[in-house]
Structure 1
Amino acid sequence: MNAEELLKRYAAGERYFPNVDLSHTSLQEVNLSGIVLKRAILEATDLSRSILVGADLNGVILKQATMTATRFNGSHLVGVDLTAANLTGADLSGVNLWRANLNKATLCEANLSRANLDEANLTGADLSRANLSGVQLSKANLTEAVIVDANLNRANLTETKLMRSHLCGAQLERAELIASELTAADLSRVNLEGANLSEANLSQANLSGANLTGVNLHRANLIAAKAILANLRGANLEQAELVTTNLTEADLSWANLSKTNLSGADLHRAILTDVNLNSAILRGANLIDAKLLQVEMNNVDLSWAIVPCVMSH
């Protein structure tokens, strides 16, 4: 079957076209709402500006396909192969993409709000400026993905892999990142206000200039992370690992640092007003010019720490 025949049969009312092979064909600017194309082969097919609302595309192969500004909202793309596909500006809101393969796909400015991307493969994908608000990305793989300036407010990224990903300037307000893997990720200038990063791995991550107001980092790993000028007001860092973390000029006012390991951390000119440091480890930490005002410091380990700072209990 070729594209012309499919369109003719669709216009006659037929909707069921499973397993068809329409590779390297053009289906631009056509309305195929409600079509059933499950397990079809559409490799390198051009579907730009087409309408596939409410379509069944489960298991379809769309490798290297072009779908710029295509509408998929309400469709099912479970297990679809979108490797290196171009989905710039596409509408995928509310779409089911569970276990989809989006390896190196381009999703710049795409609308993925409330979509289900649980366990999807987005390794190396470009999600710059995409709308991912309320998206489900639990256990997904976004290793080395570009997510710059994207909207991930209230997204679920529980146990998600984000190693070496680029999230600079992204919005992650109240996002769930429990036990997520963010090793060496770029989170500079990110808004994580009220987010849950309990037990997350942020070792060697860049959080400079990030807004972490009220964030939950309970038992998180921030070893060798960079958080210069970060806003950590009211953050929960209880039992977190901040060994050799760079917190230069960070604002930790009202933060909970109880039982936190800050060995070798750089707190030069950091603000620690009304902070709970009970049973914290500050062995070898740099506290030059830090402001520790009205701090709880029972049973604190300050061995070899540099502490010529302003202190008031």
Structure 2
Amino acid sequence: MEVKELLQRYASGQRNFEKINLIGARLIHANLEGVNFAEASFAGGNLSHTILNESNLSNAFLYASNLSYIKLGKGRLIAADLTKANLEGAFLVKSDLQGVKLSGAILRGVNLRSANLTGVNLCGANLSGVNLRSANLTDANLSWANLSYARLNDAKLDGTRLNGVVLHHAHLVEVNLSGMDLNGVDFSHANLKKADLQNTDLTAANFHQAQMSLINLQKATLHGANLTESLLKQSNLTEAVLLRADLSQANLTKADLSGANLNLSTLIGTNLTNANLQHAYFWKADLRGANLSGAQLQGASLRGANLEGANLEGANLIDTIMPDGSTSNSTENLPLCS
């Protein structure tokens, strides 16, 4: 069937074009809302800027097709073959893409808000700037994908694979990443406010200048992580492992680090005002210039720590083990340096 005939039939009211063959067809700017293109073939075709809202393209063959800026809200793309397709700027809000093939596809700036991407393989994909807010990514493979500047607020990530993913400048507000393996992931400049990362493996992860207020990092592993200049106000880091982590210039005002392991960590200039540091471990930690005013340090161990220039005004040091190994019961005459 030729494009002209297709458009004429659509204008006359026909909507069912199942299994149609339009390989290499040009449908730029066409309006075909609500059409049935199930199992149709558009390989190498150009559907740029075409309007296909609420259309069915399940099992369609769209290999290497141009779908840039297409409007396909509430569409059905189940098991469609979009290998090497160009989807830049496509509008796919609330669309169903279960089982879709996207290997080598261009996905920059795609709007997939509230879309169903259950089990989709996006390994190594360039998803920079993609809108995945409230999307269902259950069991999807996002390993090694570039999600910089992507929006993932409220996305469902149960069983999602995120090994080696890039998330710098990404929006991850209230996202649940608890218990995942995110070893070495780049979260620099990301917004993780109120996110849940308890029991998550974040070894050597990069959180430089990340926004992490009210985040849950309870029992998370942050061994060697970069948290420099990060905002961690009122965050939950109870029993977190921060061995050799760098928290220089980070803001941990009113954060809860009770029972946390901060041995050999770097906290130069870190703001720990009114933080809960009860029973935390700071063996040989570098706390030079840190602000510990009003901090709760009862039972904490500062053995071998460097507290040169640190502000301990109003800190509670009852039963705190000081750098020289002595136990403090007051704020007077403190041995600040190891």
TM-score normalised over the length of structure 1: 0.88
Match of 2:243 in 1: 228
User: Match for 1:198 among 196, 213, 217?
Assistant: 213
User: Match for 1:161 among 173, 176, 183?
Assistant: 176
Distance between the aligned counterparts of 1:67 and 1:124, measured in 2? 19
Match of 2:299 in 1: 284
Q: For the structure 1 residues 27 and 162, does the alpha-carbon distance in structure 2 shift closer, same or farther, using more than 3 Å as the test?
A: farther
- Other structure's SS at 2:167 match: coil
Q: For the structure 1 residues 295 and 144, does the alpha-carbon distance in structure 2 shift closer, same or farther, using more than 3 Å as the test?
A: farther
Match of 2:58 in 1: 43
Decide which structure has the larger Cα Rg and report it: 2
Q: Which amino acid aligns with 1:280?
A: A
- Other structure's SS at 2:321 match: coil
Distance between the aligned counterparts of 2:101 and 2:26, measured in 1? 27
Is 1:112 the counterpart of 2:112? The answer is: no
Match of 2:111 in 1: 96
> 1:57 touches 1:77 (CA, 8 Å); kept in 2?
yes
Where does the alignment leave 5 or more consecutive residues of structure 2 unmatched? 1-16, 326-334
Match of 1:189 in 2: 204
Is 1:275 the counterpart of 2:290? The answer is: yes
Distance between the aligned counterparts of 2:28 and 2:192, measured in 1? 45
Question: Deviations for 1:186-242, whole angstroms, at most 9, x for unmatched residues?
Answer: 322222111110111112222222111100000011122222211111000010011
User: Match for 1:262 among 254, 271, 277?
Assistant: 277
Where does the alignment leave 5 or more consecutive residues of structure 1 unmatched? none
Q: CA RMSD in A?
A: 2.6
Q: For the structure 1 residues 233 and 12, does the alpha-carbon distance in structure 2 shift closer, same or farther, using more than 3 Å as the test?
A: closer
> 2:222 touches 2:242 (CA, 8 Å); kept in 1?
yes
Q: For the structure 1 residues 14 and 209, does the alpha-carbon distance in structure 2 shift closer, same or farther, using more than 3 Å as the test?
A: closer
Q: For the structure 1 residues 225 and 123, does the alpha-carbon distance in structure 2 shift closer, same or farther, using more than 3 Å as the test?
A: farther
Distance between the aligned counterparts of 1:189 and 1:234, measured in 2? 18
> 1:65 touches 1:85 (CA, 8 Å); kept in 2?
yes
Is 1:145 the counterpart of 2:169? The answer is: no
> 2:22 touches 2:42 (CA, 8 Å); kept in 1?
no
Distance between the aligned counterparts of 1:122 and 1:211, measured in 2? 27
- Other structure's SS at 1:292 match: coil
- Other structure's SS at 1:120 match: coil
Q: Which amino acid aligns with 1:312?
A: L
Q: Which amino acid aligns with 2:298?
A: R
Match of 2:257 in 1: 242
Q: For the structure 1 residues 224 and 41, does the alpha-carbon distance in structure 2 shift closer, same or farther, using more than 3 Å as the test?
A: farther
> 2:26 touches 2:45 (CA, 8 Å); kept in 1?
no
Q: For the structure 1 residues 44 and 168, does the alpha-carbon distance in structure 2 shift closer, same or farther, using more than 3 Å as the test?
A: farther
Q: CA deviation at 1:257?
A: 0.7
The number of residue pairs the alignment matches comes to 312
Q: CA deviation at 1:259?
A: 0.8
Match of 1:207 in 2: 222
TM-score normalised over the length of structure 2: 0.82
